[in-house]
Amino acid sequence: MIVGFIGLGIMGKPMSKNILKAGYKLVVYNRSAPAVNELVSLGAIRADSPMKVAEKCDAIITMLPNSPEVREVCLGENGIIKGAKPGTTVIDMSSIDPNETKAIGADLEKKNISMLDAPVSGGEPKAIDGTLSVMVGGNKEDFDKFYDLLMTMASSVVYVGNLGSGNVAKLANQVIVAVNIAAVSEALALAKKNGADPKLVYEAIRGGLAGSTVLDAKAPMMLAHDFKPGFRMELHIKDLNNVINAANATNADVPLSSKVLDMMKSLQEEGYGKEDHSALFRYFE
């Protein structure tokens, strides 16, 4: 199997390295050259456009910022659709609007190109060590066919339903994370403003029902005012905008997501958008 990889950013570059380590033949494309050069030095094959990637590959993975970029790479003038053979599969591992996933998949299907949406959770550290969590939507036969490929980048790969379901699961994940970060921020700020040591409050509650992965990952960052990004706030804003889009398309009510999105946008306007999403603590301070 020859695999294509388009989008060698913070996540895509380490993910593609893990595919190479697993022994797959890999063809890569990225708009900026340094990441491509690095992958080529490790044994990957360079391509000059998404179309050229598609001409060489049986499966093409995309890891891109948002829906417009995925649409352009898949369906644009030099897109995958122009070079892919019938029977090719696109595995989009970006986090985008599930309604766009379905629309892009429908256009690819007209050329007998199948699509899986397989967004990830875990951030750069887990992309580097190959322990991402992947949630996958699409045809179950395609999922089974590419399960081993996906596991080269992950510790968990779970099938969640038809095309678009992967991104629905990722949006659900992002809602839960965002609301948890807001709750931790509010609680620690409340403790501080009422004269309690927020570090001791954190230690007191982390073993009870309030304990969570988010609490343990983000409370120490808030207490230290260390907002070096693991996941930038501006990216969480993008995800929550996709939550709102998906909710509007289905008449779902998402008041908590809307409120946290407003908080994050206000901080972005103050210049904090490139900080870690735990910088939401600043809002409550």
As a whole number of angstroms, the distance between CA 140 and CA 143 comes to 5
Burial (CB < 10 A; 0-12, 13-18, 19+), residue 225, is exposed
120: Cβ contacts below 8 Å, ≥ 6 apart:
11, 15, 93, 95, 127, 132, 133, 134, 135, 153, 154, 170
> Looking up tokens 């697993």, which residue turns up?
22
Instruction: Calculate the alpha carbon distances from 15 to 28, 152, 168, 218, 276 in Å.
Output: 12, 8, 22, 24, 21
Is 238 noted as a catalytic residue in this protein? no
One-letter identity of residue 223: L
Find, among 25, 1, 29, the residue nearest to 12 by Cα.
29
Q: Which of 170, 238, 259, 265 is catalytic?
A: 170
**Cα 260–262–268 angle (5° rounding)?**
105
DSSP helix/strand/coil, 30: coil
DSSP helix/strand/coil, 5: strand
172: Cβ contacts below 8 Å, ≥ 6 apart:
none
| Catalytic residue annotation | 170
